[in-house]
Amino acid sequence: MWLDTPRNPKAPLAGLKVLELARVLAGPWAGQILADLGADVIKVESPEGDGTRLWGPPWVEHKGERSAAYYHATNRGKRSIVADFKDPGDLARVRELAANADVVLENFKTGTLAKFGLDYETLAKTNAGLVCCSITGFGQTGPRAHEAGYDFVIQGMSGFMALTGEPQGQPMKMGVSISDLTCGLYSVIGIQAALAMRERTGRGQLVDMALLDCSVGLLASQALHYLTTGSNPPRMGNEHAQVSAYGVFPVADGEVVLAPANDGLFRRLLKLLGRDDLLSDERFSSNEARLANRGELDALIAGETAKWQKEDLLARCGEAGIPAGPINPVDQVFADRQVQARGMRVDLDGVPGVRSPFTFSDAELALDRPSPRKGGDG
């Protein structure tokens, strides 16, 4: 059942065999990244299929099958088989695939796969080199280990929502499922680290990934704000807690982002806006002073930027080396010349997608097939 030859010999993970027992987002996202990197990923679906096949609209019609665009966003490059774990024949087939796999990727609730002999401890008895990555909401240990995890809930629990939104507004989730997607990314890192260790030891291992762990791990400087002061970092909207002027500013035909993150860049911005007179103003002479007088400074800058057309201001900022950019809706993202030059959009057999963002000097991605039809590979 595994491919006899790599999908793309020049891909970094060419020849790697990945059995994906995953559905919805975090697990399939990790599987898609591994597939883009050249792994042979076999997705095992229940007879009902991955639930995201029905998460439309919008829909994609491909080779006689109608599936949600959501499904196609996370399953490119894989092959699909259908297996009912309660059917002895199907279960034996999945176990055989696992016995010859390099990686098993799964996101079942803790303890579920042990009922079918598909847990790491059981599979490792016949495949000592197996790396098994288990993705759950809360991990394999702890008081919530047996609970299901959902991105929205994890965003709330992890601190993300408390940090996102306007200071006086309602806490907000992010516009993408950041907890799921981040866990998928971290899972790929963990899998590759375990594979590198296998080269030294000859043994595989279990990689225990939790959505909550990954989201807490992303708190970065915000976590250190609390850990060093004992106080919660404030919700800042589009402002930056440590830098001013830094935010969204009006222009005559919309809004732009300005991010002059040090004294030199701030001075360049004032000169560009024709406000050299403020260079000697003690209220704005240092970042600390600018933070203390943020409201006055933002109002002054907004008054100047509002006189400009967006493209003119951004062009001049680019010439001056001032970090600045538009606030693009998604259609303008894919119309952006830089995004186009980097080839971020891919079209595979009539199905559009976004490639994994890796560019190598001596390797290439394996972008050879769209998402599979349910059970389309046997």
Domain boundaries, the chain: 17-219+346-354, 247-331
Distance CA(116)–CA(49), nearest Å, equals 19
- For β-strands 247-251 and 206-210, DSSP reports them as unpaired
Sign of CA dihedral 38, 360, 133, 375: negative
pLDDT in tens, 173-187: 999 999 999 999 999
Q: What is the pTM of this model?
A: 0.93
Query: CA geometry: angle at 345 spanning 165 and 80, to 5°?
Result: 95
Using alpha carbons only, how large is the chain's radius of gyration in Å? Answer: 25
Q: Which pLDDT score, from 0 to 100, does residue 25 have?
A: 96
Q: What is the pLDDT of residues 128-161, one digit of tens each?
A: 999 999 999 999 999 999 999 999 999 999 999 9
The H or E element that residue 199 is part of is: helix 178-201
- Whether omega for the bond prior to residue 210 falls within 30 degrees of 0, making it cis, is no
* CATH pick for 247-331 out of 3.40.50.1470, 3.90.550.10, 3.30.1540.10, 3.30.830.10: 3.30.1540.10
The string over 109-130, giving b where at least 16 C-beta atoms fall within 10 Å of a residue's C-beta and e elsewhere, is ebebbeeebbbbeebbeebeeb
Q: Is the pLDDT of residue 239 over 90?
A: no
Backbone angles phi, psi at 118, to 5 degrees: -110, 15
Sheet strand arrangement including 17-21: 79-82, 40-45, 17-21, 103-106, 131-136, 206-210
- Tell me the C-alpha distance between 219 and 160, whole Å: 8
Fold of 17-219+346-354: Rossmann fold (3.40.50)
List, for residues 199-215, the tens digit of each pLDDT value.
999 999 999 999 999 99
Q: Which residues are catalytic?
A: 180
pLDDT of res. 245: 86
